[in-house]
């Protein structure tokens, strides 16, 4: 089974994690260590930013 390529760059995900306050968890445990809620909030924030950029 091949690994699916992510749509968000690693640096963008790290930026979002810092903004949302769970970057320490990512540093210590990797992306698998974050809560589902945090992952959902990260996706939600990424969508908000994309919509803002499209609106301008």
Show me where the domains of the chain are located: 10-55
Residue 8: CB atoms within 10 A of its CB come to 13
Band of residue 6 on the pLDDT scale cut at 50, 70, 90 = confident
Q: What average pLDDT does this structure show over 38-51? A: 95
To 10 degrees, what angle do helices 36-55 and 10-20 make? 110
Angle ∠(7,15,33) on CA atoms, nearest 5? 75
Please compute Rg for the chain using Cα positions.
12
Q: What average pLDDT does this structure show over 39-44? A: 96
């Amino acid at each position: 089974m091949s690994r699916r390529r992510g749509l968000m760059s690693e640096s963008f995900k790290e930026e979002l994690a810092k903004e949302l306050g769970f970057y320490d968890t990512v540093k210590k445990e990797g992306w698998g260590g974050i809560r589902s809620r945090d992952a959902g909030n990260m996706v939600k924030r990424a969508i908000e930013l994309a919509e803002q950029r499209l609106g301008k």
